[in-house]
Amino acid sequence: MALGLLVLAAVLLVGLTLWRRRSPATLRPIDAYERLNRSVGLAVENGTRLHISLGRGNLFTARSGSALAGLAMLRRLSERTSVSDRPPIVTSGDAPLTILSQDTLQSGYRAAGAEDQYRFSTGRLTGLSPFSYAAGTVPIMHDENVSTNVFIGDFGAEAALLTEESDRGNSNVIAASDNLSAQAIFYASSQDPLIGEELFAAGAYVGAGASHQASLNVQDILRWLIILAILIGAGLTILGAPI
């Protein structure tokens, strides 16, 4: 069953990606992503920085999904801000994730034809434990002329320290996490919080490519198939038929 779903998802993703390349996608408005797109443009115009924090998600655990969503968004944002005098800064609390963030930044600069402006020091490992990670990230938010903080990934209670510093610096906050504790903090402290699966739509909403837009459609199709299977199973149970 699981293998069948994976094969179906892969076929749908490939087919819908090819179709999306021919026809423009229509996505429902999400206020947080609209504000993020405006903030990117303002950061380039005002000479301020964009700070993207990818959390502490380990790429070898179930928590890797949120980190990969953050990396997909990061590539597109780095491409769009490569012309800025102040390039974006990326922080994370996991060593492999930091290496991947540096590589993603470089690929964004390469796509924009500005690879010579890339500096590996803009992707930083700020700490390996929750609060050391927060303690290393707060000075960057305070000292690097940051106008917008994007928190997307696996966070915990340390998210409160990050959002508090954002509030003190009067900077915009775009935040999403797969951790319930961090979701509660972000919901209370972010003007336009991202809830639940909206985290995984980041790539599609910043224009990362047709495959990201197609993945949203695949998720919807699989969701309806699962709902249909549940309803059929419940109906058969009520009728006393073997399942």
Query: pLDDT truncated to tens, each residue of the chain (243 aa)?
Result: 555 545 554 555 455 455 455 555 566 777 888 888 888 888 877 888 899 999 988 877 777 778 888 888 888 888 888 777 788 899 999 999 999 999 999 988 888 888 888 888 899 999 989 899 999 999 999 888 888 899 998 998 999 999 999 988 888 888 988 888 899 999 888 877 788 777 877 767 776 566 666 666 667 777 777 888 888 888 878 877 665
Give the separation between CA 93 and CA 29, rounded to whole angstroms: 31
Angle in degrees, 0-180, between the axes of helices 159-168 and 130-143, rounded to the nearest 10: 10
Listed residue (79, 88, 90) closest to 151, CA to CA? 90
Q: What are the start-end ranges of the H helices in 152-209?
A: 159-168, 180-189, 202-205
pTM of the predicted model as reported, rounded to 2 decimal places:
0.79
3-state secondary structure of 121: helix
> Quick one: fold of 28-207?
Rossmann fold (3.40.50)
